[in-house]
Amino acid sequence: MSRVRVKICGITRLNDALLAVHQGADALGFVFYPDSPRAITAEQAQAIIRELPVFVTTVGLFVNATQDVVAREVAQSGVTCLQFHGEESAEYCESFSLPYIKAIRIKPGMDVAGSIAAYSGSSAILVDSWHPQQAGGTGEGFDWSVLQGLPEDTPPLVLAGGLHAANIAAAIQQVQPYAVDVSSGVEDSPGMKSGRKIREFIDEVNRVRQ
């Protein structure tokens, strides 16, 4: 089985970013959504990104932002990938000159395969839990069985939603995702990452794939 990539989302501090990378994180997420408790400005993200080593993907997360806002935040921050967590259309997501990840929030009874198929041009699909008031980072999971039997041409899956060191092995074994995305599961408080929890999480990801 191939190695599962790890994205640590909701980075707000340089020390957390460096610690995550040194523990083996492949990507870091920066939340450009003012209503999030993990929100960061483009200038703050830039200060972190310029200190990172090479070969780390930096992802800017947006929720129903205008094209002008996305373009400005990308230019100022220097992120190398986009993640859209709202009701953005495929045409909108593809209008930028960067690879993008589209988040699909799983609701009971929804047509998961159909929702994913609408974004066939994405670099990856992030599957997350649905919450009526929050666009992500809720710490809540969903029924992973709804991801069984997806078409072979489905973009790479990034599994999110309520993941932490105690359940990540089971999640990987059942879903077999390309990557996993964690935020609240490795925090002491929103935006404040725990070195111990990051280490334990990534150790579990690596263990289950050995």
- The residues carrying an active-site annotation are 9, 128
- Cα Rg of the chain, angstroms: 16
Q: What angle do CA 110, 111, 114 make, to 5 degrees?
A: 145
**Other residues' Cβ atoms within 10 Å of the Cβ of residue 67:** 10
DSSP states along 115-177: HHHTTTTSSEEEEEE--SS-SS-------GGGGTT--TTPPPEEE-SS--TTTHHHHHHHH--
Closest CA to 165 of 131, 135, 199: 199
Residues 6+ apart with CB under 8 A from 17: 11, 28, 48, 51, 52
At 195, the amino acid letter reads G
Contact 77, 95 (CB under 8 A): no
Residues 6+ apart with CB under 8 A from 193: 8, 10, 11, 13, 16, 19, 20, 186, 187
